[in-house]
Amino acid sequence: MSEGQPKPVLQLLSIPVLAGVSLALWAAWLGWDQHRDVHPDGSTTGPYEAWQVIGLVLTLLAPVCWAAARRYMAGAVLGTSAGLTVAAYYDWSDDASGLFVVGVGMIMIGSFVVTSVVSAVIAALTAGPPSRLPSP
């Protein structure tokens, strides 16, 4: 195995670790705010404010970048996506309309795509110089 490849056990262990981190960050940023804001015209917004979602995304960047820099791509992508998907499902499953499934699907697909792109960029930026093979 080359030096740049992580051990398979660590690669697999990174998945539940990143999923747990994602769940904890969802709870910290979004889990406590469960009420909708009613405006004077009768319209409602929420339950989350933009700053909460931005905070979640920015704090998730640190563990995703950490994992991607160490070549734990499965943890960075699958762990983070799974953690956010489970958190969204748990948080939104009391919606009587059933439309929460659409939102959960969007979280799943969106987090998978974004963490894949971020991981690829970080892996490319942290790659060492290409090794030079001796000439024959």
d(CA 37, CA 49): 10
DSSP state of 45: E
Instruction: Tell me how far CA of residue 92 lies from CA of 22, 64, 122, 130, in angstroms.
Output: 16, 24, 32, 47
Q: Decide: 115 and 82 in contact? Cβ < 8 Å.
A: no
What is the Cα 61 distance to its own chain's centre? 8
Q: Could you report the per-residue pLDDT of 11-39, keeping only the tens digit for each?
A: 899 999 999 999 999 999 998 877 777 77
Strands in 53-115 per DSSP E? none
The half-sphere exposure of 26 on its side-chain side, counting CA atoms within 13 A, is: 21
- Element spanning 44, H or E: strand 44-45
Q: Could you report the per-residue pLDDT of 39-85, keeping only the tens digit for each?
A: 788 777 778 888 999 999 999 999 999 999 999 999 999 999 999 99
Q: Which amino acid is at 117?
A: V
